[in-house]
Amino acid sequence: MANYDPNNIFAKIIRGELPCHKVYEDARVLAFLDIMPRAPGHTLVLPKAAARNLLDIDAADLAHVAAVAQKIARAAMQACGADGITLQQFNEPAGGQVVFHLHFHVIPRQNGVAMKPPASVKEDDGVLREQARKLAAALAGA
Ligand code: 5GP
């Protein structure tokens, strides 16, 4: 397995060098919207600590990322009017990973609506801003 690259795009977002539509943040986790969502509200949940993927992440960090993914899934059921949630997580190119900082995909789903293909269409900034606002508000219990 290759080493962690501190210049990957998600590391730059975590450091604040690139923008994102933030949904949630604490001392150890950042969650923001995928810019090419497979469904409305598609959120990425990341540890702030350097981890390439499931194969090298610290177990305590993994547990916290999973707990936050659960919170976001519950919030998305309400905020996105979802009927269900798809959780995805890819490891190494053979496993479908494209960005090499560990992340979970939390994808709100509607009955009978297929997901878009991965990385197909860049969503409008205003749409993402509004979805992030709704998800953050649901997480805060507003
Ligand atoms: P994966 O590594 O899990 O296969 O996919 C990486 C995901 O990151 C894709 O769903 C893609 O749409 C998303 N993505 C790629 N570049 C960016 C970016 O600059 N910002 C955000 N928010 N998402 C991105």
Cβ of residue 104 lying under 6 Å from some atom of ligand 1: no
Determine the distance separating the centroid of ligand 1 and the alpha carbon of 59, expressed in angstroms.
23
142: pLDDT strictly greater than 80:
no
Q: What is the per-residue pLDDT for 62?
A: 98
Q: What is the per-residue pLDDT for 65?
A: 98
Q: How many domains does the chain have?
A: 1
Cβ of residue 98 lying under 6 Å from some atom of ligand 1: yes
63: pLDDT strictly greater than 90:
yes
DSSP code at position 135: H
Task: Of 42, 53, 21, 31, give the one whose Cα is nearest residue 120.
Answer: 42
Report the CATH number that the domain containing residue 96 is assigned in CATH: 3.30.428.10
Which residue range(s) make up the domain with 42? 9-141
Q: Please identify every residue annotated as catalytic.
A: 103
For residues 88, 44, 123, 91, the Cα torsion angle rounded to the nearest 10 degrees is: -50
4 is a domain residue: no
Q: What is the per-residue pLDDT for 9?
A: 98
Report the residue among 98, 102, 131 best suited for mutation to probe ligand 1: largest number of ligand atoms under 8 A from its CB.
Answer: 98
Cβ of residue 32 lying under 6 Å from some atom of ligand 1: yes
- In this predicted model, what pLDDT tens digit does every residue of 1-36 receive, in sequence order? 889 999 999 999 999 999 999 999 999 999 999 999
